[in-house]
Structure 1
Amino acid sequence: MQATGADIIKVVSNADDITEMERIFYLLSHCEVPAVAYSVGERGLISQLLCPKFGGALVYGSMEGNSIPGLPTLESLKEAYKVYCMDSDTKVFGLVSKPVSHSKGPLLHNPTLRHASFNGIYVPMFVDDLKKFFDVFASPDFAGYSVGFPYKEAVVQFCDEVHPLAKSIGAVNTIIRRPGDGKLIGYNTDCEGSITAIEDALRDQKYVNGRSLNSPLAGKQFVVVGAGGAGRAIAVGARSRGARLIIFDIDLERAKCLARAVSGEARHFESLAHFQPENGAILANATPIGMHPSTDRIPAAEETLGNYQLVFDAVYTPRKTRLLKDAAAAGAITVSGVEMFLRQAIGQFNLFTGREAPKDFMRKIVLAKF
């Protein structure tokens, strides 16, 4: 194509895996004439968002009212990602998940990185194979990751080192590529993010290092629905505060494994429909039940919600899930997954940048956009 003497060349592919984007980035970096190269579809989205970093001549976006699957909108390119601010030194952070379209991480992390004058960009990464992903994207350009559903437990094996808290939980939601040796270090910011949100909702108290000597969770029955990565983080956090855990999961063996780790009790998810909690118990949903677009489902029996003092939902799309609406109507204190999302993101920013997160700015972003 270069030999034709064209002023600009363009290559568009259909991606079956996000790791194919590495070839596109190589092409852009080594092409001798201005080039446009990207892959369509959700797995190829990073090729469009990161095009300027690797020397691409143009970035494509869809116009308002004419969205195209897998193609970013012009508004997001200009406002959320501000791709024109990118250069070859821009550090790449992203959400490793499947799917990723629901994530609001870019709406929070990108403005915060710019506010802090940190040369970085945060992008969604639709990953099918963790091993292939980490093998291919091994350069210092890819500096850190958030880890979402369904990989928080599985990703532990791909970390070179795991922080003690994340190791005790058995789940990682944040990975940093350590400067110098390039090793992947796994952390968990979900645990304190969720538990402090619940504690703060139960009483107005300042915490030292995320802990209170007399946690309002001490001695309470704490019901966790879901024994995956988020459920493990919540359960370990609740146990550290002295709560009594009951774990429900569709996979009873997985529930039993977590119950053993937190000295709790395991039950099958189906039995939750008939479960009668103690008055004043805490309920935490750590499953995708109620997430957009299936927003009409709740994980617990509606008639039991009045027994709970507080109901927490890790789902944050929508912000007010049906579970939270029904729980509020029944008289329970409610805590949105948005609060957990904000707090864990603050922890991630600290790890990503090595700087103190601008907490007030991040909260303003969440209140305005979520």
Structure 2
Amino acid sequence: MAGVSLVCVPLVGKSVEQMLSEMATATAGGADVAEIRLDHLASFEPRRDLDLLLRNRPLPVLVTYRPNWEGGEYEGDDGWRFEALLLAMELGAEYVDIELKVAQEFVDFLSGKRPDGTKLIVSSHNYQSTPSIEDLSILVARIQAVGADIVKIATTAVDITDVARMFKVMVHCQVPMIGLVMGDRGLMSRILCPKFGGYLTFAALSTGKESAPGQPSLSDLLDIYNIKQIKADTKVYGVVGKPVAHSKGPIIHGTAFRSVGYNAVYLPLLVDDFESFLSTYSSPDFAGFSVTMPHKEAALACSDEVDPIVKYIGAVNTLIKRPSDGKLIGYNTDYTGSISAIETTLQGKVPGASLADRIFVVIGAGGAGKALAYGAREKGARVVIANRTYERARELANFVGGQAISLADLENFHPEEGMILANTTSVGMYPNIHDTPLSKQALKSYALVFDAIYNPTLTRLLREAEELGVTIVTGVEMFVRQAMGQFEIFTGLPAPEKLMRETLLNFH
């Protein structure tokens, strides 16, 4: 049953006029269906308002009158709701939604009065968790038995692995089914709906107009995730991290995939336990992942084979499933992306300049810190590791044959001019944009300062370095270069460099 899924935009305006305006915007934005949430209206006169909402509608509509006991805003009795939903059917609404708890009563109420042409959606919402496959299957059977034309089940993701259960049930459902897992960890259920045969998915008209937790916006669903092109055989890639919502990976990779006609989607994947995630989504269709904090070392542990460089760095930022045998192969494109960005910028200032024999200070001893330290050492630099936890700095310094220093001591560390500084921590990342790992005063000894953060593009660290006349390299440059490396590993195709760089800068 996999194929094109309808995209439905909930109208959550407080007045009929607002809803009509929202419906027009949803139509222009490419929605297939508008959900009229009657429970959101501040005042509701059924015959007058439904007539206004349905008379010249530009889109098919789904009429919902959700009570507060099922997550809605209506607080009255069911009799009034039933009458309003029947009236919506008589006025030609394409879909009407009723909750499973009262579905039998509603069906009895409609007895002999149900107009043809309106599909009945019977829905069940669980705002706490996602039940087992067995319990979900029983729920589907109960909803079918009451006479639903379309089954709708919305649960909540406690962990991203919960979504897999919904996918399994949806794929095997014999009637049209809407299966959604709410919350940030359930986002992929909303995007991969067509891949697993979902009848419909919901998208907010814009950020702030969500009718349930975790709804993506209509423009994101259509333009970033390209949902209309997702089919049963579409490959799934994504960025695995915690947090992950800030990642521009979906924008840059999604655009690049589309530009070369590669049948794939790239998602943000909020993962708590990396190993559990990999074992749950083990099918070849989940083909590869970008790996970010805090999972880079776990990704190495989970790899069946690794690129030789990875063994030295001790961190994986790219993982693919080899099509021939399904083995997990680990790579690291961080060090090539960052070192080439730094070297190219240096050479732009002084032709032929290199990192050889320069003091190269790395702040941070995590996955990105290891990558930079290794890359700098390979280029002949004298590496210094500064970290909040001195023990971790010493561990990494010993590994690359460098020097360890505490972050506090870095403030007064200036053995020579012309040093390179690279921040690989999240200090200064959105939303904490006023933070910096090092004072402005301490930046005077550096010839170049690099920050791995790309949101914001100009961190406080870089801004203050620039004010002192120090050459800077933004995280955007590193991000584009490492993403190009990942794209080529994912697809086997040359990366569209110009497009990827422009895409990232335009979305900043």
1:139-198 deviation line (CA, Å, top 9, x unaligned):
011000000011112221111111101111001000000002111100000011000000
1:15-70 deviation line (CA, Å, top 9, x unaligned):
11000111111112111111111111111111111111111111111122524452
Instruction: Name the counterpart of 2:380.
Output: 242
1:111-158 deviation line (CA, Å, top 9, x unaligned):
100101000000011111112111111001100000001111222111
TM-fit CA distance, 1:301: 2.0
CA gap of 1:277–1:224, structure 2 versus 1, over 3 A, is farther
Q: Structure 1: which 5+ runs fail to align?
A: 206-211
Measure, in 1, the Cα distance between the counterparts of 2:416 and 2:193: 55
TM-fit CA distance, 1:267: 1.4
Structure 1 residue aligned with 2:306, among 156, 162, 183? 162
Q: Which runs of 4+ in 1 moved over 3 A?
A: none
Whether 1:25 aligns to 2:184 is no
Whether contact under 8 Å (1:279, 1:308) holds in the other structure is yes
Deviates more, 1:177-186 or 1:271-280: 271-280
TM-score, reference length from structure 1: 0.95
Structure 2 residue aligned with 1:281, among 410, 419, 429? 419
- SS class of match (1:153): helix
Measure, in 1, the Cα distance between the counterparts of 2:204 and 2:445: 48
Q: Which of the pair has more CA radius of gyration?
A: 2
TM-score, reference length from structure 2: 0.70
Whether 1:203 aligns to 2:341 is no
Whether contact under 8 Å (1:193, 1:341) holds in the other structure is yes
Measure, in 2, the Cα distance between the counterparts of 1:324 and 1:301: 11
Instruction: Name the counterpart of 1:209.
Output: none
Q: Which amino acid aligns with 1:118?
A: Y
Measure, in 1, the Cα distance between the counterparts of 2:298 and 2:169: 32
Measure, in 1, the Cα distance between the counterparts of 2:168 and 2:254: 25
Whether contact under 8 Å (1:90, 1:121) holds in the other structure is yes
Whether contact under 8 Å (2:184, 2:214) holds in the other structure is yes
Measure, in 2, the Cα distance between the counterparts of 1:269 and 1:237: 21
Q: Which amino acid aligns with 1:5?
A: G
TM-fit CA distance, 1:228: 0.3
Instruction: Name the counterpart of 2:368.
Output: 230
Whether contact under 8 Å (1:215, 1:241) holds in the other structure is no
TM-fit CA distance, 1:204: 3.3
Identity fraction in percent: 49
Aligned residues: 363
Whether contact under 8 Å (2:248, 2:504) holds in the other structure is no
Whether 1:107 aligns to 2:107 is no
Measure, in 2, the Cα distance between the counterparts of 1:71 and 1:340: 30
CA gap of 1:306–1:164, structure 2 versus 1, over 3 A, is same
Deviates more, 1:11-20 or 1:356-365: 356-365
Whether 1:265 aligns to 2:403 is yes
Deviates more, 1:250-259 or 1:338-347: 250-259
1:223-261 deviation line (CA, Å, top 9, x unaligned):
000010001111110111111111011222221121112
Measure, in 1, the Cα distance between the counterparts of 2:485 and 2:209: 33
Instruction: Name the counterpart of 2:478.
Output: 340
Measure, in 1, the Cα distance between the counterparts of 2:194 and 2:381: 50
- SS class of match (1:296): coil
Whether 1:120 aligns to 2:274 is no
Whether contact under 8 Å (2:447, 2:471) holds in the other structure is yes
Whether contact under 8 Å (1:165, 1:188) holds in the other structure is yes
Q: Work out which structure has the larger RCO, using CA pairs closer than 8 Å and 6 or more positions apart in sequence.
A: 1
Whether contact under 8 Å (1:146, 1:173) holds in the other structure is yes
